[in-house]
Structure 1
Amino acid sequence: MAVKSAITMVIPSPIPTSQNLSGDSFIGQAVPAAHLSPKYQFKPMATLMHQDGGNDGSEDYPGPLGNNTNVATAVVPLKVFLWDKEGNMIAGFAEQTSSSVLFGLAFVDKNTLEIQSNWTAPPNQTLNLAYMELTLEDDMVVVSSKQGQIYVLQSSCKNNEPILTLIRSINLTSILKPSELLLNSMFDDSGNIWFTTGGLLKQTAQAPGDPEQNSTTIGYIEPCGTIHSMHIPNQMIENGMAVNDNTIYLVTGPSGADDHAEAIGYMYALTSGSENSITTVWKTTYSAGDGRKPGAFARGSGSTPTLLHDQYVVITDNANNQINLLIYHQNATANQIVCSVPIFQPGAGNNDVGTLAHLDDDTYGIVVMNNYNAPPLYSGGDINGPFNNLSVMAAETIRVDVKADGSGCHVAWDRPVRIQSVPVLSTQTGLVYGYTQDAELAVLGLYEWYVAALDWKTGKLVWEIRTGAGGSFNDNYLPGSLGPDGTFYQGVLDGVVMVRDGKGA
């Protein structure tokens, strides 16, 4: 059923700055659009935090070019933004009340961010908003809760009003082990809902995060309701899944008895079997190193798998000293790995936000952000505290090129750019949109935040526009999103930032 919650349904007010402004409001210059080829369409067609089921981070919507660009902000509890096939915004929200946090989904006016209608999860359920999925062929949203529930909602209009209607609720608590938390849920192209347990660990003892889990449960639910599952001891999933057609790609990291020096993690390709059992298409190991890198969430790979069309799948490992970008064949082969590319500076590299990928002519470009020594998530207290200081994090964003025929892999460019959140590539402009900070001011305890645009082909930071000052504008690892009209949306601690080119641009 559709539910009206306690969440406020009024036009929101702008986000107030929590520190005085002192830096430049705009840096760089406007650029012309550099069109890339359209994005690859994975099956089923869907939209997620990483833009699609293949997690390639690209979008065929335009984005701002730096022409008369303006910033608008809104105090709303929206965290993740998805777009249906008509261009409507459906967002996940987490609203703090006097006694708890309400989680849910909402139809949102993309211009004002006014909430038009919403569905709220039961008060004892913590939704995994980062991994919710909206299918584009039938406008269904699937989202899981840490407590073991999967919810499927239908997006539709009634009396010209958008609504979200709960059509299916699946209880997996009897399938999961007592210590496990449900993490992911995604449809495959046969209508099965795949799920995994796991979580995001604490970066520090004080930071929020999930407990370590010494086993992982993976499975799927048939359209008729039959549940199939498998348990993996001493491994934990710390990222999302990738799906194309009926094959699922996921990566685990060591936990329990497997968590030791020079540990290994596993990369899996799974599908439903001939009798609807879980079939392992292939499985291989990767280096998980001695432990977590400074500032990292993940014990093993910090990368949600990224699919390169229907050819390759990409993750980063957690090797000691210098991590590697690993490129595998999607189909089972005698030699599963295509190539391994050392990335980032030795002793100062970590990836916790996945990768972006796009095919240029005969070459896949893969962009990776360095999160080494990243500051922790906000855990309460002083909104302008040191958790805002990105200057302590490694300043490095790179692009690795992989020939489509598998004949070569190399680092194409390496730029001193800090991005801790999940960025997005526009194929209409050829720009990567991310969120960054004035590092010189941050050293002084002054935190000014910017939306940054990087040239996809060269890595050049072409322009930055200031969004605000202080911890209220910290992205807190929330993802960015592009809307159909070319607006870039970024969730921050106190609401949402919107950046778009001005009229006449």
Structure 2
Amino acid sequence: MRFALLSAAALLAFATATPAQAAATSYAPLPPHNPYAGPDGTATMHGDTGSSDATPLPGPGAGALTSHRTALASACPTVLVGGDGLPVALCTAIFGLTPTVHLLDPATGDPLAELPIAKGSLLGGVYAYLDNQDRLVAVDGDRNLLRIAHRRTASGGWELYVDSSLSLAGAVPDGDSVVGVSPDWQGRVWFATGGGLVGTADDRTGTVRTLALPAGERIANSISTAPAGTAVATTYAGYLLTADADGTPRIAWRQPYDRGPGRKPGQLSWGTGSTPTFFGPATGTDYLTIVDNAAPTENLLVYRAATGEQVCKVPVLRAGGSGSENSPIGVGNSVFVASTYGYPYPKLPADAGPSVPSSGSFAGGLSRVDVRADGSGCDLKWDNTVRSAAVPRFSTADGLIHTVLRRPLIPGTDTTSILDPYYYAEIDPETGGVVRTKFLGAGFVFDTLQMVGSIAPGGVVLQGTTTGVLRITAAR
């Protein structure tokens, strides 16, 4: 998932709720805990270092819901929660586009402290994770690998500060920027750049090692790590990489995919929109999945993580718009893919290029694909036109998919406008049906812009928007 920024006028509106009851379902296991990352479900943008987009934490539960918007004048694609329960958000200011780290009050969502960091590209500084000391790990626009911690001040308040910094400028060329970071099981930080460079950085020793992927291949999404290695999806192929003893990356396998005739409307690059997702019924990392960019209908691709052998290629998002900029959910034998085709991003990366076709409407779409128990292939279980406006998150605790819906201002159409209403939604993974919604608000300040929501302890959903963070909880 990636994001863009919007600066325009908006309106506020009243809140309503239409709660429904959904039966919990068991899905397991999640990827194994990475000892160098924070809590599972809240340590990375996609929940864990395997990017499962699943969490062991439950959502708000049955009953009435309430929501609160924390206005930060920033788009907030990354909202994480450490072992101390304090939310940490990495946002980009609307004015000036400066990446800024915000520490939030876990009880209210109100800001406690902030720390601007050096500005880079549109996608640089978007992806980050929390380490096992609750420090935010990110690469700033000056190509410094930062670990940003928080602490109490002498006056009883809070402050954010750079606890450590390692320059990657000797390894990352001028004009390139880091678009993804994730720790491996040896404590090194893997990183990937837009220009197609992958590397490891050990800030305990200062060692940095890199590998350039084939010329012309760019990386436009984040990366994922599992005990078997590091998964990277370029604009041409999916990879699993491992590292030598000194940290030098090596290609374990490479699988090219159909990148289609061009970038589709509602995508930010020409190629897959997926952060690679580890999932599986035995270890939680048996398989690796991305979507391709085939036209007119894209496919879910599933590989055996150990070998790169393709398990299946299944057409998805057939009922709505067949294009996705989002990381799939992967849990147990199931994968869920959400469409972003036609989503109206207000700003694109400088190298995005024209879309093919030149425009498209946001029809929505959500598909479920299951890998067969014997691993012989995959089957499409259901396919619908749910209009998800965020990267969906699956809770193994309540058995529901949690997301935000963007509904049209004119019911029954697939148009979009800056006045569209937004609804928190819970979806039954067995059927794809929406079982409960809660009106959040209307207008650009509530636009979730295909960003990820995190489920925090206590049944709290923290969802980034173009202008801040929404906090959705059970009504007290």
Q: Is the counterpart of residue 491 in structure 1 residue 472 in structure 2?
A: no
Higher relative contact order (CA 8 A, sep 6+): 2
- Kept in 1, the 8 Å contact 2:200–2:209? The answer is yes
Partner Cα separation in structure 1 for residue 436 and residue 205 of structure 2? 51
Assess, with a 3 A threshold, how the Cα gap between structure 1 residues 287 and 424 changes in structure 2: closer, same or farther.
same
**Relative to structure 2, which stretch is displaced further, 123-132 or 216-225?**
123-132
* Partner residue, 1:189: 185
Q: Is the counterpart of residue 29 in structure 1 residue 25 in structure 2?
A: no
Q: Give the TM-score normalised by structure 1.
A: 0.80
* Partner residue, 2:355: none
Q: Is the counterpart of residue 245 in structure 1 residue 217 in structure 2?
A: no
Partner Cα separation in structure 1 for residue 57 and residue 191 of structure 2? 29
* Partner residue, 1:219: 199
Task: Give the residue type in structure 1 aligned to 2:147.
Answer: V
2:91 to 90, 93, 98: 93
Map Cα deviations across residues 271-294 of structure 1 (whole Å, 9 max, x no partner). Answer: 111443222111121111221122
SS at the partner of 1:472? helix
Assess, with a 3 A threshold, how the Cα gap between structure 1 residues 77 and 19 changes in structure 2: closer, same or farther.
closer
- Kept in 2, the 8 Å contact 1:104–1:127? The answer is no
**Relative to structure 2, which stretch is displaced further, 141-150 or 299-308?**
141-150
**Relative to structure 2, which stretch is displaced further, 402-411 or 390-399?**
390-399
- Kept in 2, the 8 Å contact 1:127–1:146? The answer is no
* Partner residue, 1:350: 323
Partner Cα separation in structure 1 for residue 46 and residue 315 of structure 2? 24
* Partner residue, 2:440: 467
Assess, with a 3 A threshold, how the Cα gap between structure 1 residues 146 and 457 changes in structure 2: closer, same or farther.
farther
* Partner residue, 1:418: 387
SS at the partner of 1:449? strand
* Partner residue, 1:139: 134
SS at the partner of 1:441? coil
Assess, with a 3 A threshold, how the Cα gap between structure 1 residues 36 and 289 changes in structure 2: closer, same or farther.
closer
Map Cα deviations across residues 409-448 of structure 1 (whole Å, 9 max, x no partner). Answer: 1011112201132121122211111111222537585411
- Kept in 2, the 8 Å contact 1:454–1:461? The answer is yes
Map Cα deviations across residues 288-335 of structure 1 (whole Å, 9 max, x no partner). Answer: 1221122221211111000011211000011232211111111126xx
Task: Give the residue type in structure 1 aligned to 2:79.
Answer: F
Partner Cα separation in structure 2 for residue 303 and residue 340 of structure 1? 15
* Partner residue, 1:271: 242
* Partner residue, 2:354: none
* Partner residue, 2:253: 282
Assess, with a 3 A threshold, how the Cα gap between structure 1 residues 166 and 344 changes in structure 2: closer, same or farther.
same
SS at the partner of 2:258? strand
- Kept in 1, the 8 Å contact 2:149–2:163? The answer is yes
* Partner residue, 1:386: none
Spell out structure 1 runs of 4+ moving beyond 6 A: 123-127
Question: Percent identity over the alignment?
Answer: 25
Partner Cα separation in structure 1 for residue 10 and residue 234 of structure 2? 39
Partner Cα separation in structure 1 for residue 256 and residue 239 of structure 2? 9
Note the 1:271-420 alignment, pairs <5 A: 271-308=242-279, 309-332=284-307, 336-345=309-318, 348-359=321-332, 364-377=333-346, 392-420=361-389
Assess, with a 3 A threshold, how the Cα gap between structure 1 residues 122 and 352 changes in structure 2: closer, same or farther.
closer
Q: How far off is 1:121 after superposition?
A: 1.6
2:58 to 48, 62, 81: 62
Map Cα deviations across residues 51-99 of structure 1 (whole Å, 9 max, x no partner). Answer: 11011111111112351212222222461211112322122233356xx
SS at the partner of 1:131? coil
Q: How far off is 1:181 after superposition?
A: 2.1
- Kept in 2, the 8 Å contact 1:182–1:196? The answer is yes
The count of corresponding residues between Structure 1 and Structure 2 is 441
- Kept in 2, the 8 Å contact 1:38–1:60? The answer is no
Map Cα deviations across residues 236-256 of structure 1 (whole Å, 9 max, x no partner). Answer: 001110101361110111xxx
* Partner residue, 2:148: 153
Please tell me whether Structure 1 or Structure 2 has the larger radius of gyration of its CA atoms.
1
Partner Cα separation in structure 1 for residue 68 and residue 319 of structure 2? 40
* Partner residue, 1:384: none
Note the 1:419-434 alignment, pairs <5 A: 419-434=388-403
Q: How far off is 1:170 after superposition?
A: 2.3
* Partner residue, 2:10: 18
- Kept in 1, the 8 Å contact 2:124–2:179? The answer is yes
Task: Give the residue type in structure 1 aligned to 2:139.
Answer: S
Partner Cα separation in structure 1 for residue 111 and residue 94 of structure 2? 16
- Kept in 1, the 8 Å contact 2:50–2:285? The answer is no
- Kept in 1, the 8 Å contact 2:338–2:388? The answer is yes
Assess, with a 3 A threshold, how the Cα gap between structure 1 residues 438 and 106 changes in structure 2: closer, same or farther.
closer
* Partner residue, 1:234: 216
Map Cα deviations across residues 128-183 of structure 1 (whole Å, 9 max, x no partner). Answer: 44310112x33232101244222122455566765544232222233233442221
Task: Give the residue type in structure 1 aligned to 2:200.
Answer: Y
Q: How far off is 1:35 after superposition?
A: 5.5
Partner Cα separation in structure 1 for residue 206 and residue 343 of structure 2? 42
Q: How far off is 1:345 after superposition?
A: 2.0
SS at the partner of 1:281? strand
Task: Give the residue type in structure 2 aligned to 1:304.
Answer: T
CA RMSD of aligned residues (A): 2.8
- Kept in 1, the 8 Å contact 2:382–2:432? The answer is yes
Q: Give the TM-score normalised by structure 2.
A: 0.84
Q: How far off is 1:38 after superposition?
A: 6.1
Q: How far off is 1:488 after superposition?
A: 1.2
- Kept in 1, the 8 Å contact 2:299–2:316? The answer is yes
Partner Cα separation in structure 2 for residue 20 and residue 285 of structure 1? 46
Assess, with a 3 A threshold, how the Cα gap between structure 1 residues 179 and 93 changes in structure 2: closer, same or farther.
closer
Partner Cα separation in structure 2 for residue 425 and residue 337 of structure 1? 25
Assess, with a 3 A threshold, how the Cα gap between structure 1 residues 72 and 422 changes in structure 2: closer, same or farther.
same
* Partner residue, 1:72: 68
Q: How far off is 1:366 after superposition?
A: 0.6
Consecutive unaligned residues in structure 1, runs of 5 or more: 1-16, 199-214, 254-264, 380-389
Assess, with a 3 A threshold, how the Cα gap between structure 1 residues 63 and 20 changes in structure 2: closer, same or farther.
closer
- Kept in 2, the 8 Å contact 1:126–1:147? The answer is no
Note the 1:113-124 alignment, pairs <5 A: 113-122=109-118
Q: Is the counterpart of residue 454 in structure 1 residue 427 in structure 2?
A: yes
SS at the partner of 2:231? strand
